[in-house]
């Protein structure tokens, strides 16, 4: 990218995903309550043999569950739910 056009660099910068810190935790909690607690309660997040062991795995699991229940979430909503679950239960970095 040594000779990259400055406009390209601006587009590239804005196309990168925002960190989870920019997520709306309150929206994530509300979406989780509305669409996730019908299938499971918080025990699924706190059990010893839980499936999710990394932020990447949490992201895949949230997307899988969203599709399984047919939740009509935007990409930002998915990120909000991931951030909520990470803050509330997992604490991955």
Q: pLDDT tens for residues 19-72?
A: 545 799 999 999 999 999 988 888 899 888 888 999 999 999 999 999 999 999
If one counts the domains in the chain, the total is 1
Q: What is the pTM for the complete model shown?
A: 0.76
Given pLDDT bands bounded at 50, 70 and 90, which one contains residue 9? very low
pLDDT at 50: 86
Tell me, yes or no, whether 84 lies in a domain: yes
Q: CB of 17 within 8 A of CB of 78?
A: no
Residue 8: per-residue pLDDT: 47
Q: Is 89 exposed, middle or buried (0-12, 13-18, 19+ CB in 10 A)?
A: middle
Give the pLDDT of residue 22: 79
Read off the CATH number of the domain in which 63 is found: 1.10.760
- Give Cα separations from 41 to 22, 46, 65 (angstroms): 26, 10, 14
| C-alpha 68, offset from chain centre | 16
Question: In this structure, is residue 56 part of a structural domain?
Answer: yes
Q: Which domain holds residue 79?
A: 24-90
């Amino acid at each position: 990218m040594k000779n990259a056009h400055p406009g390209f660099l601006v587009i590239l910068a804005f196309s990168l995903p925002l960190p989870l810190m920019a997520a709306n935790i309150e929206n994530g909690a509300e979406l989780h309550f509305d669409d996730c607690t019908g299938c499971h309660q918080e025990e699924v997040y706190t059990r010893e043999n839980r499936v999710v062991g990394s932020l990447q795995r949490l992201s895949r699991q949230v997307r899988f569950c969203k599709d399984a229940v047919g939740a009509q979430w935007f990409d930002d909503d998915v990120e909000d739910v991931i951030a909520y679950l990470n803050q509330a239960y997992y604490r991955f970095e």
